[in-house]
Amino acid sequence: MTLRRLLLVLISGLAPVGARAQASGPLAAHQQLARDIYKELVEINTTTDANPGGTTQAAEAMAARLRAAGFAGADVQVLASGPRDGNLVARLRGSGVAGRKPILLLAHLDVVAALREDWSIDPFTFTEKDGYYYGRGTGDDKAMAAIFMANMIRMKREGFVPDRDLILALTADEEGGDHNGVEWLLANKRELVDAAYALNEGGGGFLKNGKPFVQNVQAAEKVYYDFTFEVRNKGGHSSRRSRTTPFIDYRMRWRASRSTTFRYR
């Protein structure tokens, strides 16, 4: 299978799964599998302070599904980078044609903290309502993790052998915390995730009449910055700027703390 065809399979095979629910009609078996995985992931509290829980619980649950689907034990590993910070790394063996390097399917399991009193529903209960799925992580990034998982299981069950290995990495602490899973894997287990290409979150797709219609591709990634704004006088009306009205000097000053300061002059 060519890289282009493989990408089309991964993108379109489970398109109805995501923050928006399928409009009507029964789910196909592979779609039901993805929904079941999706629900299981959303209902595991994978915030950094979850106890018990965390990404280790989610990683172990996904590892159990992969092993039940026929993946060899050596090809499914849960690697802990910190307390409750487990990372799943799994490999679907390819034919190894022409020594082609693997493709890495990358999604994170952790989510931003969610207080029950801030939500109209339980954030860790998978809820389908009015054509949408609700719950912490339904969009970022457990839908993608569920899609990748279901594709890996489906390919294994159907005996599909790609022309290169496919690696799945579901990681910890992308949203925050002390044990960023990707960073930890690269530093300590690079041989398990080394690949020619990585498919990560970003972009997105849409359906039209139940069929894949648009697939957006994110070509670059944002970088985290802190900004500090200093106002040295009382300011003024923005449309009536006077000599004393502050304006922003967009020359950014890099500081040791990795923050960037915009200063009024």
Q: Is residue 122 among the annotated active site residues?
A: no
pLDDT of residue 14: 42
- Pick the catalytic residue from 75, 85, 110, 165: 110
pLDDT, average across residues 217-229: 72
CA 72, CA 76: separation in Å to the nearest integer?
Answer: 7
Domains of the chain: 3-216 (3.40.630.10), 227-264 (no CATH)
Is it true that the peptide bond before 165 is cis, omega within 30 degrees of 0?
Answer: no
CA 108, CA 142: separation in Å to the nearest integer?
Answer: 7
pLDDT of residue 112: 93
Q: Is 196 helix (H, G, I), strand (E, B) or coil?
A: coil
Residues 6+ apart with CB under 8 A from 128: 21, 134
pLDDT greater than 50 at residue 261: no
pLDDT greater than 80 at residue 256: no
> How many residues are present in the chain?
265
Q: Is residue 110 among the annotated active site residues?
A: yes
Write the pLDDT tens digit of every residue in 33-91.
Answer: 999 999 999 999 999 887 767 899 999 999 999 999 999 999 999 999 888 899 999 99
Q: How confident is the model at residue 248 (pLDDT cuts 50, 70, 90)?
A: very low
Other CB atoms within a 10 A radius of the CB of residue 183 amount to 13
Q: What is the reported pTM?
A: 0.77
pLDDT of residue 72: 96
Percent of the chain's residues with pLDDT above 90: 54
Other CB atoms within a 10 A radius of the CB of residue 5 amount to 11
Write the pLDDT tens digit of every residue in 79-126.
Answer: 998 888 999 999 999 998 878 999 999 999 999 999 999 999 999 999
Owner of token pair 């690696």 = 167
Report, in angstroms and rounded to the nearest whole number, the Rg of the chain calculated over CA atoms.
Answer: 22
- Pick the catalytic residue from 75, 85, 173, 174: 174
pLDDT of residue 19: 59
Asked if 12 and 5 count as a contact pair (C-beta separation under 8 A), the reply is no
Asked if 260 and 253 count as a contact pair (C-beta separation under 8 A), the reply is yes
